[in-house]
Amino acid sequence: MSSPLQIGKAPLATTSSAWVRLLLQGAEGFGLSSTILCEQAGIDAGVLQQPQGRIPQTRVTALWSAITRACPDDDLALAIGRDIRLEHAPVISFAMQSSRNLREALERLLRFHRLIGEAIDLPLQETAQGVRISFHARQPVPLLSLHTAMVALVAMARWLTHQPVRPLNVSLRSQPPLHPQRWQHYFGCPVQFSASQNSIEFSHELLATAVAGANPQQAAAQDLAARHALQQLNEQQALAHVRYWIEQSLLLGEPDRAWVAGCLGLSISTLQRRLRVHGVTFRQLLEEVRREQAQRLLQQGVALPEIALRLGYQEQSNFQRAFKRWFAQTPGQARSDRFE
């Protein structure tokens, strides 16, 4: 097992590309363009198509902002979340499907939910009538994102059990929507708006509902696969912390290896040694960050001299040469091609 990098204080929560694709599919149902939304949010279309791709939460938050600007519908979370199914997250899906009942399935979801997204914590609290699952943001995320996850949780429970799962109650921190009855109809229970927390409570009886096609004999193997996927995510996040501080260093001007190492609480030699364990060098990560940032800023219409400065190039000619090395064309040609 490779040595994890020591992490700094960077807000590096990510969301799986599969989940983001589902959000975009929901937005397309409102007549919105996925391509335009991704450009506005700075989401790399290439990463979006990768099966194990991860999108920074800051980009996902920007995506929600772009969606709500184009479609300010207060039922948006309901419309998108109700169509989400577990087959869109296969590792978690297999683990939950191996469960004997809904309680076991939900416990597995809470254990492995970081594979879907890391910006939300899902603490479980035992109550007199059953259990309450709360939805807490680990970093600033739109309420719309939290509410979509809540709608999706009930959709997943219904998909797993083949039963019309109805919680005991649902609490939402948002103001009452224009049509609150739609939310009550979907959840099949009382829905409190303007609440102090976002939560769903399930009864003991409901939690005992059998999972359709349960296979307890496979539970240990599926848990092992999910734990392995979490370990891989941790490895990815170790490099993501380095990339984050490289991005910050570019904002300060010339990228500084010593500054990045200091932000991670490491010496330069220790940073280099741990990067080698992951099969990359600092220079390779710097190139990746610059290439991705160049493409995003170009799509946003930022002037070429400004892009060069934001990428830490003191001379625009150096940026021009690097861009041609990355994309086999000059920045000007790339911008012209985009608008043809």
- Domain 14-218, what fold? H-NOX domain (3.90.1520)
Quote the distance between the C-alpha of residue 243 and its chain's center: 17
Instruction: Check whether 4 has a pLDDT greater than 50.
Output: no
Cα–Cα distance measured from residue 246 to residue 289, given in angstroms and rounded to the nearest whole number: 8
Quote the distance between the C-alpha of residue 317 and its chain's center: 36
Report the share of the chain in percent with pLDDT over 70. 95
Instruction: Check whether 6 has a pLDDT greater than 60.
Output: no
Report the share of the chain in percent with pLDDT over 90. 47
Per-residue confidence band for 45, with pLDDT thresholds at 50, 70 and 90: confident
Q: Given this chain, do its domains 14-218 and 228-338 carry the same CATH topology? A: no
pLDDT 10s digits, 235-266: 777 787 888 889 888 887 777 889 888 888 88
Instruction: Check whether 76 has a pLDDT greater than 70.
Output: yes
**pLDDT at res. 88:** 65
Closest CA to 300 of 42, 33, 61: 42
Of 64-73, 77-86, 199-208, 219-228, highest mean pLDDT: 199-208
**pLDDT at res. 279:** 85
One of 1.10.10.60, 1.20.1260.10, 3.30.300.180, 2.102.10.10 is the CATH number of 228-338, namely 1.10.10.60
Q: Indicate the domain borders of the chain.
A: 14-218, 228-338
Q: Give the global pTM.
A: 0.73
Which amino acid, residue 128? Answer: A
Report which of residues 90 and 329 the model is more confident about: 329
**pLDDT at res. 236:** 74
**pLDDT at res. 86:** 66
Closest CA to 260 of 270, 249, 269, 252: 249
Q: What is the mean pLDDT of residues 82-100?
A: 83
Q: 135-169: b or e for each residue (b if 16 or more CB lie within 10 Å)?
A: bebeeebbbbbbbbbbbbbbbbbbbbbeeebbbbb
Instruction: Check whether 145 has a pLDDT greater than 60.
Output: yes
pLDDT 10s digits, 152-204: 999 999 999 999 999 999 999 999 999 999 999 999 999 999 999 999 999 99
Per-residue confidence band for 338, with pLDDT thresholds at 50, 70 and 90: low
pLDDT 10s digits, 49-69: 887 888 988 899 999 999 999
Instruction: Classify residue 6 by its DSSP letter.
Output: P
Q: What is the mean pLDDT of residues 108-116?
A: 91
Pseudo-torsion of CA 200, 204, 206, 210, nearest 10°?
Answer: 130
